Structure 1
């Protein structure tokens, strides 16, 4: 059971002063999170203005900064614009080993196939039972891991959604590794549920700014340490 650190997401410095944006900040944060128990990472590369980007130079810098501390996946969220997605894919071939694709987003099937053709593994994001059914229908290539990530913040509804996704995957005999996580109020309940299920999980400033007791975390490493105390991750 592995623990992933989601270092920044779409968070801004206005939301939390410790959100890492530059490659150097990502490097230092990944080092601290690895020391606290994280074994893999997820990042949203930023440009010089601190905005999310999929452009090659920023992606290469972010990956190079974090990968010495463990495998690192890069977002491909559809809302992040890029000037030329085909060119992006070719440029990523040399540097990116894994990425996340939300199966509910437009073009997800083609995008996962394009990554597979370039030797880039995909973490398949499932936010609903419908997404799980899409995966179960087949035709997806290069899926490294399934991300169970309900998009609701209310813990009871998020836990119900996660259980429904697991049920679809179980019924389809989906044997791919699973990582379950949530955001905001649902982050810690879904992490604890993942521990009970014995599946991978993640935590970080992308998902929550708060520790389990409601205090604002100092940063990603403190969130990772708190997750380890709850039993997340391998020794």
Structure 2
């Protein structure tokens, strides 16, 4: 077995289900708490450091209800303990408004949560409530990952940072390459506008971990490009179910394992959850 302890490390997050897909898309899509717990264990063994969690109502629809989240959180923690960073989603999916998204996080107080700036701060009228929420998360040491869908979103993030609406530490960002659309395919070059805007932020982006996710069979190529450029990666059925050769992955762990193996071939190692937590909170 290769000793990876001295290699530069890259965090692999897995997004195993998302808000939109069903078993009609893939029979191994994990939805129930027990299925998510088993997926978490398999993805941990494959090299993941973080699980990005979506849950569903009894009728299969996307949910941000605490009552739907709790059984899944408990099942995953029973399965893997603290060996994965557990990140909840606050995605609206056209169902939830900012006050409801914020209320879920305040009630559950998760270890980590993804928040889309476009959703939480759609305009200047939402800035005060969003800033209060972002500062509360910083005080509670909840790790937000700000979801950025374009270089324009990166510039918006930088503006909020400059004005102090987003605290300077204890968070990360996710660059989303592509969109939810039929036949969507991302390419490694899609990352370039994000990075141009990001590096233009100067000291505002220093020490803030960035990650990316991508759609389609070039997910792996996008992920490896990001890793070589100093970023971290998210893979999984939420955005892609295809292996690099275009065939369908058997499960989420197959996508994680493929990325972990390719990282090691490039002299990079999958990061552990413990190391990822230190990345966000080096003073811990």
Given the two structures, how large is their TM-score scaled by the length of structure 1?
0.88
Deviations 1:1-28 (A, max 9, x none): 1111111112211000111111111000
Q: 1:185 to 1:215 in 2, by over 3 A?
A: closer
Q: Matched residues in 2 for 1:166 and 1:151: separation?
A: 15
Bigger drift between 141-150 and 125-134 goes to 141-150
Q: Once superposed, which parts of structure 1, at least 4 consecutive aligned residues long, lie more than 6 Å away?
A: none
Q: How does 1:1-235 map to 2 (within 5 A)?
A: 1-10=10-19, 11-67=21-77, 68=81, 69-79=83-93, 81-82=95-96, 85=100, 87-93=103-109, 96-107=110-121, 109=127, 110-111=129-130, 113-118=132-137, 119=140, 120-137=142-159, 138=161, 139-141=165-167, 144-152=171-179, 153-156=184-187, 159-173=188-202, 174-175=205-206, 176-231=208-263, 233-234=269-270
Contact 1:43–1:75 at 8 Å: present in 2 too?
yes
Give the SS at the match of 1:217. Answer: coil
**Structure 2: gaps (5+ residues):** 1-9, 272-284
Using the alignment, how far apart are the partners of 2:186 and 2:104 within structure 1?
Answer: 37
Point out the more displaced range, 185-194 or 2-11: 185-194
Distance 1:80 1:143 in 2: 28
Contact 1:4 1:202 in 2 (8 A): yes
Contact 1:53 1:80 in 2 (8 A): no
Taking the aligned partners of 2:150 and 2:88, their CA distance within structure 1 comes to 21
Q: 1:185 to 1:216 in 2, by over 3 A?
A: closer
Q: Kindly tell me: are residues 227 and 104 of structure 1, through their superposed partners in 2, closer, same or farther at Cα, counting changes over 3 Å?
A: same
Residues 120-143 of structure 1: per-residue CA shift (max 9 Å, x gap):
321011111100001111221366
Q: C-alpha root-mean-square deviation of aligned residues, in Å?
A: 2.3
C-alpha distance in 2, partners of 1:92/1:181?
25
Q: Structure 1 stretches of 5 or more lacking a match?
A: none
Q: Distance in 1 between matches of 2:185 and 2:114?
A: 24
Alpha carbons of 1:92 and 1:81: their partners in 2 closer, same or farther (altered >3 Å)? farther
Number of residue-to-residue matches in the alignment: 231
Change (3 A) 1:214 1:177: same
* Equivalent residues of 1:4, 1:201 under 8 A apart: yes
Q: For residues 148-183 of structure 1, give each alpha carbon's deviation from its aligned partner in whole angstroms, at most 9, with x where no partner exists.
A: 112253434xx3442111111111121200111211
Q: Relative to structure 1, is the Cα distance of residues 172 and 207 closer, same or farther in structure 2, using a 3 angstrom cutoff? A: same
TM-score for the superposition, normalised by structure 2: 0.74
Larger radius of gyration: 2
**3-state SS in 1 of match to 2:173:** strand
Tell me the secondary structure at the aligned position of residue 27 of structure 1.
helix
